[in-house]
Amino acid sequence: MTIPETENNRLILKEKKEEANDVVTLKFCPKNGELPDFRAGQFVMVGLANKELSGITKSYTISSAPGEKLLSITVKRKGSFSQALYDLKVGGEIKASEPQGFFFPSENSQDIVFLAGGIGITPFYSIIKDTFKKNPDKKIHLFYSNKTLGDIAFLKDLDKLSAEYKNLRIIHLLTREQTRDPRVKEFKRLDADILKRHLGDLSRKDYFICGSIGFVNDLWRELKKAGVKEEEIFTEAFF
């Protein structure tokens, strides 16, 4: 599927920031006109001008929050498309679709649990910034699983956010590295026992799972086994 040719969907890379091993944030401004409106948690479909990759589109979650001056996506390099994005130079251009997707808490959710596997942090990073700016009374627990300390994207920014907002609790998990870093509390794969230990009662919360297909499916099953209702679970797999 190609992104329609319009004047307004071209974005120019303004800034680039290294976030973690193989992960960069790309910050864009519009080539013409204004940035599109979006809800925190939505994604855009991206197209590249490269000859070999033209005609291919891939989805990337917007990692900036609504209201920020530039529109960001945060990319982990894996195959050829994400590598080309990773290598994009400041001044380079992409095509982006209208923001889309429904992966965000409703206004009524008060007690929210985010389960992020690796680069699956991107929607949560945007939603956390947006939610607390508007409503610091909401409660958010973020369980963030990575292989090693060097893989944790937004580590410092998340530290700052949790220092600023007392209702944000972040639980870092590492699956392939032991570290003395006091921010990391768990050294195994995320499961229902860990969730219970930190949350107590699992009921009456809204759970959002984002990461690879395997991560999302495993945690969906863990939550259901622990008695969480399907209506209280929301998923986004990066495929």
Partner 1 sequence: MTDKNEKLKYDVAGQDPYKSDSWIYSDVVKEHFFNPRNVLLDDSGYKADGTGMTGSPECGDVMQVWIKVNPETKKISDCKWRTFGCASAIASTSVMSVMVTENNGMSLEKALNLKPQQILERLGGLPDRKFHCSVLGHMALREAVLDYLKKNDNTGNRE
Ligand X SMILES: Cc1cc2nc3c(=O)[nH]c(=O)nc-3n(C[C@H](O)[C@H](O)[C@H](O)COP(=O)(O)OP(=O)(O)OC[C@H]3O[C@@H](n4cnc5c(N)ncnc54)[C@H](O)[C@@H]3O)c2cc1C
* Positions that interact with ligand X (CB under 6 A): 43, 58-61, 73-76, 78-82, 119, 122, 236, 238-239
Short-list 206, 34, 65, 188, CA closest to 129:
65
- Work out how close the CB of 2 gets to ligand X at its nearest, in angstroms, rounded to a whole number: 16
CA dist list (Å): 79 to 11, 84, 85? 22, 9, 10
Applying CB under 8 A, among 1, 37, 89, 201 the residue interacting with partner 1 is 1
Task: Compare residues 190 and 210 and give the one whose CB is closer to ligand X.
Answer: 210
DSSP 32-61: SS-PPP--TT-EEEEEE--TTTTT-EEEEE
Question: Of 94, 158, 170, 233, which lies in the binding site for partner 1, with binding defined by CB under 8 A?
Answer: 233
108 binds, among partner 1, ligand X, none (CB under 5 to 8 A by kind): partner 1
Q: Which does 167 bind (CB under 5 to 8 A by kind): partner 1, ligand X, none?
A: none
Which CB, 79 or 227, lies closer to ligand X? Answer: 79
Q: For partner 1, what does the binding mask look like between residues 209 and 228, x meaning CB under 8 A? A: ----xx-xxx-xx--xx-x-
What's the min distance (Å) between Cβ of 213 and partner 1? 5
- 3-8 long-range contacts (CB < 8 A, ≥24 apart) are 3/45, 3/47, 3/57, 3/95, 3/96, 3/97, 7/32, 7/33, 8/32, 8/33, 8/36
Shortest distance, position 102 Cβ to ligand X, whole Å: 10
Site mask for partner 1 (CB under 8 A), range 116-155, x = bound: ----------------------------------------
User: Residue numbers of the site for partner 1 (CB under 8 A)?
Assistant: 1, 45, 57-59, 102, 106-108, 213-214, 216-218, 220-221, 224-225, 227, 230-231, 233-235, 237, 239
